[in-house]
Chains A and B, each alone.
Chain A
């Protein structure tokens, strides 16, 4: 079993981590005092979020999925979910939705212990997930907030057509922008949007550098567990801000430094001394046992070198960048390009490419009960990726934020068995 080593130097928090923490604390405080300062909030979703546009009106984006996952990490989600179920919500449905509704019913206290504001506008960016629609219909019932729908067509044939783009741009022009103008009392300022988009592209360049650094052997990063933190600012309220640009510059410098020093990934228990397995992961993490889950991999020397979850808020490693020269078209392409808005064949292609390009020993499908958008079809994806790559796939199930569906012993057992299988295949000369 690999062990992690912790020295004062290695375990020090990276500057980027401190910066992100400060950004989040400051932002959540801003949200908490929004009603006193006249700040207005736009609730929206991570996939297909229009942060640059929202911020160009000086409005504050709020992302309920982020609140839900943070509730999971803070061990609050179980209580929120049970509260929602007592209110009449089915055990069968998405735990993010129930976590959010249960949190709202219990005072809507957020990450920093301060209450989050109720929505001034629900921007239903309907991208890659049907449940989003039901989620905001429910939230509208609870809050009576005005709602604006942005219907993002699905990339069923693996491409964005001109018709799809035209439809999204038209909704942006004729529905979303007027709703933001009405809420903010400000006119749409395209130059301001362009400035935001330029900053987004700069941050996206640096993020891609960081994620692709995992192509190195050994990888300097964990591209799933640690990368959840890396994508935080760009997936949430900060894309298009100067803060995000600085964060990603700093993060990139830190990774460059790690590369120069030949260091592997940092884990919650310190530096990983030896990379024994290189894996690709499909599916979101479990949040209620996030660190335990991570430890199940790194304690075995397994490093995640690429993941699909880090693409739900935008796929940038295929070359897409927000483009200030075509602002609304670029936002439309961004929305349609998010990972869960891509067809199953396209997702298979992406993962198979990751396995190849990142020299992975295999791939894991973490199938979550709550998310049909991710999960329906994953068993077929698994077979197809195995067929294409010749690498073994592992499959196990849990949930996003419902702690009742994470069985640590079971998951650990499966991970260990899977890694043993890779070892055996290696011994037989069929892998690496």
Chain B
């Protein structure tokens, strides 16, 4: 996969992003390691890990979002019962078929019981690899959850140092990494703002690919790609379309297949808000680059995390953030698209859906899995929903 060239066409940028999104066997990571002999790559599952720390250790953080619709499950189904979501079985499949061998370690964020137990499975199946279950606090008091989280982060730094092949995570190095990821989040925010304002110029099916491309790219390169994309998209001659503006929720962990996103667009939905690839937008704004950088990461997590089903809502009511977001982006309805058997999303949904309804926001809901291949019923449902919004 070639590096982007300045002035590249919009089509080639998007095509490259799609190649990277479909790079579930991590060719881009292999290429990076080839160019950086001795350096390590650390995978992480959705939803959130502090990528800044991995980067500051001189390692490549690699987002693992399962196998999507590209991986045939041969062995993975033998590890999971039928009533569990799809992401872990395709991730196990990729682990067992050697696709993830290029990774020197895996971090399993505190997302749900399935991902948590997957960390233990990884310990048993790949004892030669670094495996860490990454516990984030559900207490958001600086002196309580904050102190615990700071110790967790410092322990992660020690772990990475112990792996060798990296660099010592100095405060200075961490500040530099934070600045780079701040730039990354700023690019993403700019693209999301442009999508709200001129969605025909930055369609969601492209935005999604651009975000996912960052899972396998060094942040510096991803920053460049995002910048080029927005510039090229703004300069394009695309014209406005008469679509229903919708927000999408439920996709925070197991990611929808790109063809599902395209199906929603073809059905007349213009997605102006979503909750996928959350690690790229976590925290919601900049992490402070002055002061103690570990404490800055702690503070950002405690006080500026996006609302997400895997994070306890200590104050306020469920769905308030969704309603505020819908209003801010001018969405006319919400589609709740949850992966089958996703406990956090599906248990959250009645609360957030009720909040949306109470605010007079139309909603629609369906289930998917990362390898969903039949979209006819979803297209009909989304089309009906879009029509009902446009006609109301």
B113 close to A380 (CB less than 8 A): no
Partner of B147, one of A141, A170, A369, A379: A170
Which residues of B have CB within 8 Å of A126? Answer: 138, 312
Task: With CB as the reference atom, state the residue of chain B lying closest to A379.
Answer: B79
Task: With CB as the reference atom, state the residue of chain B lying closest to A89.
Answer: B350
A138 close to B347 (CB less than 8 A): yes
Q: In the complex, A49 Cα to B49 Cα: how many Å?
A: 30
B123 close to A344 (CB less than 8 A): yes
Interface residues on B, range: 35 or more
Q: In the complex, A397 Cα to B80 Cα: how many Å?
A: 12
B124 close to A345 (CB less than 8 A): yes
Interface residues of A in 113-171 (CB under 8 A from B): 124, 126, 129-131, 133-135, 137-138, 141, 149, 151, 153-154, 156-157, 163-164, 166-167, 170-171
B120 close to A372 (CB less than 8 A): no
Is A274 interfacial (CB 8 A cutoff)? no
B124 close to A170 (CB less than 8 A): no
Q: In the complex, A90 Cα to B338 Cα: how many Å?
A: 10
Is A367 interfacial (CB 8 A cutoff)? yes
Task: With CB as the reference atom, state the residue of chain B lying closest to A131.
Answer: B343
Which residues of B have CB within 8 Å of A372? Answer: 84, 112-114, 117, 343
Instruction: State the main secondary structure of chain A at its contact with B.
Output: helix
Is B353 interfacial (CB 8 A cutoff)? yes
B117 close to A149 (CB less than 8 A): no
A174 close to B350 (CB less than 8 A): no
A149 close to B314 (CB less than 8 A): yes
Q: In the complex, A250 Cα to B205 Cα: how many Å?
A: 67
Is B377 interfacial (CB 8 A cutoff)? no
Interface residues of B in 131-179 (CB under 8 A from A): 132-133, 135, 137-139, 141, 143-145, 147-148, 151-152, 155
Q: In the complex, A94 Cα to B79 Cα: how many Å?
A: 20
A90 close to B148 (CB less than 8 A): no
Point out which of A89, A154, A166 has the most chain B C-beta atoms below 10 A from its C-beta: A154
Which residues of A have CB within 8 Å of B309? Answer: 134
Is B118 interfacial (CB 8 A cutoff)? yes
Partner of A380, one of B125, B144, B155, B344: B125
B132 close to A149 (CB less than 8 A): no
A376 close to B144 (CB less than 8 A): no
Is A97 interfacial (CB 8 A cutoff)? yes
A344 close to B121 (CB less than 8 A): yes
Which residues of B have CB within 8 Å of A89? Answer: 346-347, 350
| Known A154-B116, A375-B81: A167·B144 in contact at CB below 8 Å | yes
| Known A92-B341, A134-B309, A137-B312: A380·B148 in contact at CB below 8 Å | no
Q: In the complex, A175 Cα to B139 Cα: how many Å?
A: 9
Q: In the complex, A156 Cα to B147 Cα: how many Å?
A: 19
Q: In the complex, A347 Cα to B138 Cα: how many Å?
A: 25
Smallest Cβ distance from B230 to chain A, in angstroms?
Answer: 36
Which residues of A have CB within 8 Å of B145? Answer: 151, 167
Which residues of A have CB within 8 Å of B116? Answer: 130, 154, 156, 373, 376
| Known A130-B310, A133-B312, A174-B141: A154·B133 in contact at CB below 8 Å | yes
B135 close to A156 (CB less than 8 A): yes
Is B313 interfacial (CB 8 A cutoff)? yes
> Interface code A39-66, partner B: CB below 8 Å = 1, 0 otherwise?
0000000000000000000000000000
Which residues of A have CB within 8 Å of B78? Answer: 379
Interface residues on A, range: 35 or more
B350 close to A154 (CB less than 8 A): no
Q: In the complex, A262 Cα to B25 Cα: how many Å?
A: 61
B117 close to A134 (CB less than 8 A): no
Which residues of A have CB within 8 Å of B190? Answer: none
Smallest Cβ distance from B305 to chain A, in angstroms?
Answer: 14
Task: With CB as the reference atom, state the residue of chain B lying closest to A344.
Answer: B120
Partner of B113, one of A92, A124, A129, A348: A129
Which residues of B have CB within 8 Å of A133? Answer: 138, 312
Q: In the complex, A137 Cα to B121 Cα: how many Å?
A: 29
Partner of B350, one of A87, A156, A375: A87
Is A243 interfacial (CB 8 A cutoff)? no
Is A93 interfacial (CB 8 A cutoff)? yes
Smallest Cβ distance from B364 to chain A, in angstroms?
Answer: 13
Smallest Cβ distance from A45 to chain B, in angstroms?
Answer: 14
Q: In the complex, A135 Cα to B124 Cα: how many Å?
A: 31
Q: In the complex, A335 Cα to B83 Cα: how many Å?
A: 28
Q: In the complex, A379 Cα to B81 Cα: how many Å?
A: 8
13 sample A-B contacts, Cβ–Cβ < 8 Å, listed by A number: A89-B350, A92-B83, A92-B346, A93-B343, A131-B113, A131-B343, A133-B138, A135-B347, A156-B116, A167-B145, A343-B123, A344-B117, A379-B80
List 19 extra interface pairs beyond A130-B310, A377-B118, CB under 8 A.
Answer: A87-B350, A89-B350, A90-B347, A92-B343, A129-B113, A138-B351, A151-B145, A154-B135, A156-B120, A156-B132, A164-B148, A166-B147, A167-B147, A167-B148, A344-B121, A373-B113, A375-B84, A376-B118, A379-B80
Closest 3 CB pairs of A and B: A344-B120, A156-B133, A134-B347
Interface residues of B (CB under 8 A from A): 78-81, 83-84, 88, 110-114, 116-121, 123-125, 132-133, 135, 137-139, 141, 143-145, 147-148, 151-152, 155, 309-310, 312-314, 317-318, 338, 340-344, 346-351, 353-354, 367
